[in-house]
Amino acid sequence: MPIKVKLCEDDKGSPAKSFDFNGVTIYDTAKSPAQVVSGQPTGLTKTGFTLLLPVGIYDVVMILDHVPNAQVAYVFEDCDKANPLARILVFVTPTGSFYLKVA
């Protein structure tokens, strides 16, 4: 089943206006050292991407572009405020990550 990930403007799940995904890398943490999962994510856009992963545990690492004065970016499963995945403090660093378990 595909997992849709969206970049959101606030903790209420509003679509992002101040941030864009610059890049996303998926690591398979079952391997030592963790290895990049080729072909993932799929459908990467400025504000979203889709993951199609087999059973396992993954580290999803995101790099953002942002406008000046931007403070915090939120990452949700399809901007559903019930499923927050990460909060990125872009005033500190434009990168963030979350672990994803696919069962």
As for how many domains the chain has, the answer is 1
Residue 47's domain spans which residues? 3-102
Locus of tokens 């391997």: 31
pTM: 0.84
Q: Which residues are 7's β-sheet partners?
A: 75
The beta strand positions in 1-103, using DSSP E, are 3-8, 19-28, 35-36, 48-51, 56-66, 72-77, 84-89, 95-102
Question: Would you give per-residue pLDDT tens digits along the chain (103 residues)?
Answer: 788 888 888 888 788 888 888 999 999 999 899 999 999 999 899 989 999 999 999 999 998 886 666 677 888 876 555 566 666 555 556 788 888 888 8
Does residue 13 contact residue 81 with C-beta atoms inside 8 Å?
A: yes
